[in-house]
Structure 1
Amino acid sequence: MSPHSVTQAIEQADRLINARQFDPLMDFYTDDATLVLRPGLSVCGKAQIRRAFDAIDLYFHGCLQVRQAAMEVLEAGDTALVLARTLVAGETEEGPQVQARKATYVFRREADGQWRCAVDNSYGSDLLDGAPTGSRTRGMTA
Structure 2
Amino acid sequence: METESAIELVDDVIYKPGWTFTARDHSKRFEGTIVVHVDYPARNSNRDQAQDGYPEQITTYAEFPLVVKDCTDEDLYAALLEMIMSIEEHEAREFLRVRPTHWAPFHPHRADGMHRWAVRHDKNDLLGDLQFGIA
Question: What is the TM-score normalised by the length of structure 1?
Answer: 0.36
Larger strand fraction of residues: 1
For CA contacts below 8 A with separation 6 or more, give which structure has more relative contact order.
1
TM-score in terms of structure 2 length:
0.37
Bigger radius of gyration among the two: 2
